[in-house]
Structure 1
């Protein structure tokens, strides 16, 4: 693996600095190279290449908006013994604090980037490029929320996209993995009610981070930085769901965001619905501890 990374980066030096940043999915560490520091994420799972290819594409897409900083992705390298590695820019980060308000402003700007492309008059149907407005929901490549792949096949309708390619996929996974019967029963009832959560709302595809919890945001000297994206073109409100669910964002962040993108009617109900995805995704990642939250959310939404 080391030889492949050296070859890809065209460096003779690849020395660990001792600065790590491992999470619950991947191992990560900073390395010195001939041209400065890089950060390398590793994963030994068979699906690592898919996961890192998706993250590479997501980081590149966010980078191209020129709105909020992300680490620049350099290359994805296969591990001969299994798995893969993602090499990216190394950024000295600290916990988000001083630049919280700026993050709210920049996140809103990222969410509005696609609509600005529409106003410029360009259009791309079911795809993304540097100059085009994206008029569908999805993404060009598979991205992963955690290590589970997301079906990003393009779709014209957001509600159908989210129901079929997010919630239904997670419910079926829980049914197969845990032989759970109650989740699919509740979902079969709830799916008919979901359109009412979006009545009167016109949703425009927005490039979203996709996994914006407090552990995936930070700041450096000059501003905020976000990382570990599971991006696709979706509903901008979705990014606020896991932010609200697990915390880590203060009032200044939300005030700045909602100043740029005011809350639409029914926001809280939709946020609760979006929480369902994260509960189900955590259930499928980490086990039955999230089953209760998943089921209680569905029951609450059915009332």
Structure 2
């Protein structure tokens, strides 16, 4: 595999990349990750079985899509490739530090500028993506309530059911969510899609974000996820709202958008996420939120 990695990097840098060191680093649920170095240019490498090439391609395409907006900072993509048994994604190595409150505060304005970019007048993306290790369909839809209730909530409920976790009648839940969003017609924004504190870090005085799950949708989805587990500093939200004010009834839709992420966490991690999700579903069904 490493010979293939060197070749892709040689094409990128214009000179043969002679790997002098390889250090395995802590990773998430799916991939192995390494930092390699030729003595001049360290590179971050994600690896997995060859069948994961399409996932790496989607991640690379999303990072490049976000980078082209000249708003949020993301790692530069050096390339993807395959060897006989492996696939890999090559990214800029960044010396990531713990999130700093000051840089996260500035990130509020940066995220707002991403969300202000004009795009298609519909919801979805030209290709499907993944939320963590879970496939995320992005078929284009003209109606936001239909897109979110079916391709987000309904999709995750079905995955939960297949894994033995049920929250009630799927169609009833989907219909309730669609009904609550029926009058909401947001301007489509390009979303990071997987924006929580674990997917942000500080490098060179700037918030870097990674592991996206992009699509064109309601910007409130990104904000809702930032508030779900460990909220960003208050200054982040102040700067966001100053740059691109949120609608006052965002607070009413926030639980619906957070449900998507809780469903995703329920079948990935189970435990208390299932209890939290079950409580939220009942509140939504009973019109208590």
TM above 0.5, one fold?
A: yes
The Cα of 1:301 is off from its aligned counterpart by 1.2
Equivalent position of 1:295 in the other structure: 278
Are 2:49 and 1:63 aligned?
no
Equivalent position of 2:159 in the other structure: 173
Q: Could you say what secondary structure the match of 2:247 adopts? A: coil
Are 2:85 and 1:81 aligned?
yes
Equivalent position of 2:3 in the other structure: 3
Give the number of equivalent residue pairs: 280
2:226 aligned to 243, 247, 250, which one? Answer: 243
In structure 1, runs of 5+ residues without a counterpart are 115-132
Query: For the residues of structure 2 that align with 1:32 and 1:302, how far apart are their CA atoms?
Result: 54
**Cα distance change, pair 184–14 in 1 and its aligned pair in 2 (3 A):** farther
The Cα of 1:199 is off from its aligned counterpart by 5.7
Q: Could you say what secondary structure the match of 2:68 adopts? A: helix
Query: For the residues of structure 2 that align with 1:33 and 1:204, how far apart are their CA atoms?
Result: 46
Are 2:194 and 1:211 aligned?
yes
Are 2:154 and 1:151 aligned?
no
Q: Could you say what secondary structure the match of 1:245 adopts? A: coil
Are 2:94 and 1:91 aligned?
yes
Equivalent position of 2:121 in the other structure: 135
Equivalent position of 1:119 in the other structure: none
Query: For the residues of structure 2 that align with 1:45 and 1:238, how far apart are their CA atoms?
Result: 32
Q: Could you say what secondary structure the match of 2:162 adopts? A: helix
Q: Could you say what secondary structure the match of 1:94 adopts? A: coil
Equivalent position of 2:13 in the other structure: none
The Cα of 1:229 is off from its aligned counterpart by 0.7
Whether the 8 Å CA contact 2:201–2:207 is kept in 1: the answer is: yes
In structure 2, runs of 5+ residues without a counterpart are 11-15
Larger CA deviation: 9-18 vs 228-237: 9-18
Query: For the residues of structure 2 that align with 1:216 and 1:16, how far apart are their CA atoms?
Result: 26
For normalisation by structure 2, the TM-score amounts to: 0.89
Q: Deviations over 1:119-146 (max 9, x none)?
A: xxxxxxxxxxxxxx32221112221111
The Cα of 1:2 is off from its aligned counterpart by 0.7
Query: For the residues of structure 1 that align with 2:57 and 2:45, how far apart are their CA atoms?
Result: 14
Equivalent position of 2:36 in the other structure: 31
**Cα distance change, pair 251–45 in 1 and its aligned pair in 2 (3 A):** farther
The Cα of 1:29 is off from its aligned counterpart by 2.2
The Cα of 1:32 is off from its aligned counterpart by 1.1
Q: Could you say what secondary structure the match of 2:175 adopts? A: coil
The Cα of 1:6 is off from its aligned counterpart by 0.9
Query: For the residues of structure 1 that align with 2:128 and 2:54, how far apart are their CA atoms?
Result: 7
Equivalent position of 1:229 in the other structure: 212
